């Protein structure tokens, strides 16, 4: 059995108007079109719904019995329509995103404030994690979208360009490099003791800056969070490389961010989402704002 929404609406309008002519006017259809819809509905159900009279139409006993159900169905359909309209206009919905913790600290607050000022009824959940975990958070369904440094894509996840972000060498504010306000040269970088907090970016450093070395030295240190890396740089003769936007914490950690040259001096950041899945209106609206409001020094073109 196949009942159509048009048939159900025609039934309600004829019942309300007690007339095929009146229902036709309400539905902006011809009387013959309304009659055809009711006839099709009656054929599907196998029972008459109306008694036709010269002056109009009245419900049969079965028609009276099913009318409350019809009204509930039409109300549910209206709720679906209204809900979709609310989502499109962002009067409701939920934004679920994953970002690296440092990006969440340094870039996200004003961008999220701009989004919330325009769409105050949209709920927001932020999964702040490491740069290496953003893609997996999207793959696992913990977030609808992720924004972070370029990483290998997990199965079922697609990535698209967001920004090109400047990277800087980070040294202790008490170091000789900080006092001279200059970045170390490539030779010095190759001899430095490093703190690395990202498997992927560590590999990039080996391929680019540390061209004379196959791996990091025995005295180098590995941590998982960028904030920990910055804190450790301040207390010992270590260096790390971090996005320029993290320089907001120079005074907090007692470090200096210094420009340097080379292929590792800029980093591509991507927006991650489920491959083949259309973004929710909330996620799309946020990304539209985010692309044009990148971190300090970021370029919106690759």
What residue segments make up the domains of the chain, in order of their start? 5-88, 165-266
pLDDT over threshold 90, residue 85: no
Asked whether the whole model's pTM tops 0.75, one would answer no
Structure tokens at 156: 């079922």
User: What CA–CA distance (Å, rounded) separates 87 from 79?
Assistant: 12
- Measured CA angle at 136 (ends 140, 110), to 5 deg: 100
Listed residue (196, 181, 193) closest to 256, CA to CA: 181
Cα torsion angle, 216, 260, 250, 103, sign: negative
First vs last C-alpha separation in the chain: 55
DSSP letter, residue 241: E
| CATH numeric code, 5-88 | 1.10.10.10
Bridge partners (DSSP) of residue 274 are: 157
Q: Quick one: pLDDT at residue 206?
A: 65
Check whether 217 has a pLDDT greater than 60.
no
Third-level CATH fold of 165-266: D-Maltodextrin-Binding Protein; domain 2 (3.40.190)
Average pLDDT over residues 152-161: 93
Are 24 and 30 spatial neighbours (Cβ–Cβ below 8 Å)? Answer: yes
Rounded CA separation 95/122 (Å) = 7
Average model confidence (pLDDT) across the chain: 86
């Amino acid at each position: 059995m196949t009942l159509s929404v048009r048939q159900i609406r025609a039934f309600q309008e004829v019942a309300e108007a007690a007339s095929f002519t009146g229902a036709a006017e309400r539905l902006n259809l011809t009387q013959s079109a309304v009659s055809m819809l009711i006839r099709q509905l009656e054929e599907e159900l196998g029972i008459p719904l109306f008694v036709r009279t010269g002056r109009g139409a009245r419900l049969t006993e079965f028609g009276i019995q099913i009318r409350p159900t019809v009204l509930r169905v039409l109300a549910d359909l209206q709720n679906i329509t209204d809900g979709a309209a609310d989502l499109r206009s962002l009067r409701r919905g939920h934004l679920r995103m994953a970002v690296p913790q440092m990006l969440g600290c340094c870039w996200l607050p004003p961008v999220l404030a701009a989004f919330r000022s325009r769409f105050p009824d949209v709920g927001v959940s932020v999964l702040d994690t490491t740069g290496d975990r953003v893609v997996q958070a999207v793959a696992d369904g913990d977030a609808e979208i992720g924004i972070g440094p370029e990483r290998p894509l997990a199965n079922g996840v697609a990535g698209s360009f967001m920004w090109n972000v400047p990277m800087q060498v980070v040294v202790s504010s008490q170091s000789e490099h900080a006092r001279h306000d200059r970045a170390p040269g490539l030779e010095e970088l190759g001899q430095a003791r490093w703190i690395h907090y990202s498997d992927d970016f560590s590999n990039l450093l080996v391929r680019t800056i540390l061209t004379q070395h196959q791996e990091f030295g025995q005295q180098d240190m590995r941590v998982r969070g960028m904030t920990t890396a910055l804190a450790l740089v301040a207390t010992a003769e270590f260096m790390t490389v971090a996005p320029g936007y993290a320089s907001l914490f120079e005074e907090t950690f007692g470090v200096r961010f210094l420009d340097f040259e080379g292929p590792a001096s800029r980093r591509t950041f991507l927006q991650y989402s489920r491959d083949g899945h259309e973004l929710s209106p909330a996620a799309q609206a946020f990304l539209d704002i985010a692309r044009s409001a990148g971190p300090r020094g970021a370029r919106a073109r690759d």
